[in-house]
């Protein structure tokens, strides 16, 4: 149904990749056909190299962490990676990694998503995210975590 005349237009924004949409990871859909952010767990980790690294090295640096997480890589390019992880209670998790160019150099953004409800705090997804963060610190000492959505808020601000 269309919106009544004079009613304000509601816009919803949610970041997720095309791979997520194609695999049905877009979350629940409202009447307007847009995803509702509250229905999907999404945690973001941003890592910055201590010294400049090329894009390929940043993505390749994820391999030890992905092995420990028993991730199944389903797409990989020099600047992007997507993988599936198994979770507790048959929860499937999607991991996306992208190299982003910022004013002060490249960063590696790693997103962990699931269909677990964020309204309840997504405890199973959060537990896997915390493990992922610890593995990133342990297996990639050349990268420094500069942002965690569970600690710092939903989106990084700044350059």
Q: What global pTM score does this model have?
A: 0.72
Q: What percent of the chain has pLDDT over 90?
A: 57
Q: Which of 15-19, 24-28, 54-58, 115-119 has the highest mean pLDDT?
A: 54-58
CA dist 123 and 121 (Å) reads 6
From edge to edge, which strands make up the β-sheet containing 143-148? 72-77, 80-86, 92-102, 105-114, 41-49, 143-148
29-41 pLDDT tens trace: 444 444 444 578 9
What is the three-class DSSP state of 72? strand
Distance CA 142, CA 49 (A): 6
Q: Where are the domains of the chain?
A: 42-149
Question: Average model confidence (pLDDT) for the chain?
Answer: 78
Average pLDDT for residues 107-133, to the nearest whole number? 92
CATH topology of domain 42-149: TATA-Binding Protein (3.30.310)
Residue with the larger pLDDT of the pair 15 and 112: 112
pLDDT per position as a tens digit, 16-30: 333 333 334 444 444
């Amino acid at each position: 149904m269309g919106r009544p005349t004079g009613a304000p237009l509601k816009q919803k924004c949610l970041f997720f990749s095309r791979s997520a949409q194609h695999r049905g990871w877009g979350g629940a859909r409202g009447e307007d056909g847009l995803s509702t952010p509250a229905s999907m767990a999404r945690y973001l980790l941003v890592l910055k190299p201590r010294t400049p690294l090329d894009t390929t090295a940043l993505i390749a640096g994820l391999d030890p962490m992905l092995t420990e997480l028993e991730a199944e890589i389903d797409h990989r390019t020099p600047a992007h990676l997507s993988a599936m992880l198994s979770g507790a209670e048959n929860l499937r998790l999607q991991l996306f990694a992208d190299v982003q160019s910022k004013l002060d150099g490249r960063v590696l953004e790693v997103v962990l998503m699931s269909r677990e409800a964020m309204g309840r705090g997504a405890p199973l997804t959060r537990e896997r995210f915390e493990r992922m963060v610890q593995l990133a610190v342990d297996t990639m000492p050349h990268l420094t975590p500069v942002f965690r959505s569970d600690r710092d808020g939903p989106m990084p601000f700044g350059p």
